[in-house]
């Protein structure tokens, strides 16, 4: 299972996990084979990433220790404290910030 950007999702891939909106409404259950219509649905609902069977995904914080990861998350939580991370754009910015852990402060 791997979390990948919907830009990389192709018809025929299979969901490894259900897809829910920022309001926790389920759009698709686990095990569904993706179609072109599903890709349009992701765009309509602002879904930016999905878990796909057989994909490895990306560990955005690389080879960090648990202590480094916890420190990074604490710093980012302070930086993003006034943002609603349930909103797709805020969540994406938060995730992008994990790509450059030395540049957050």
Q: Which domains occur in the chain, in start order?
A: 2-52 (3.90.105.10), 66-103 (no CATH)
Query: What are the two backbone dihedrals, phi and then psi, of residue 99, each rounded to the nearest 5 degrees?
Result: -75, -25
99: which residues sit within 8 A by CB, 6+ positions away? Answer: 60
Q: Read off the pLDDT of residues 20-43 as tens digits, 9 standing for 90 and up.
A: 988 889 999 999 999 999 999 999
pLDDT of residue 104: 43
For the full predicted model, state whether its pTM sits above 0.75. Answer: no
Average pLDDT over residues 58-82: 77
């Amino acid at each position: 299972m791997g979390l990948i950007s919907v830009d990389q999702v192709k018809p025929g891939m299979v969901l490894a996990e259900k897809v829910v909106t920022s309001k926790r409404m389920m759009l698709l259950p686990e095990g569904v084979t993706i179609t072109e219509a599903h890709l349009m649905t992701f765009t309509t609902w602002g879904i930016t990433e999905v878990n796909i069977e057989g994909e490895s995904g990306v560990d955005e914080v690389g080879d960090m220790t648990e202590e480094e990861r916890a420190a990074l998350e604490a710093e980012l939580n302070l930086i993003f404290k006034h943002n609603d991370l349930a909103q797709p754009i805020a969540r994406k910015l938060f995730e992008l910030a994990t790509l450059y852990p030395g540049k957050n402060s």
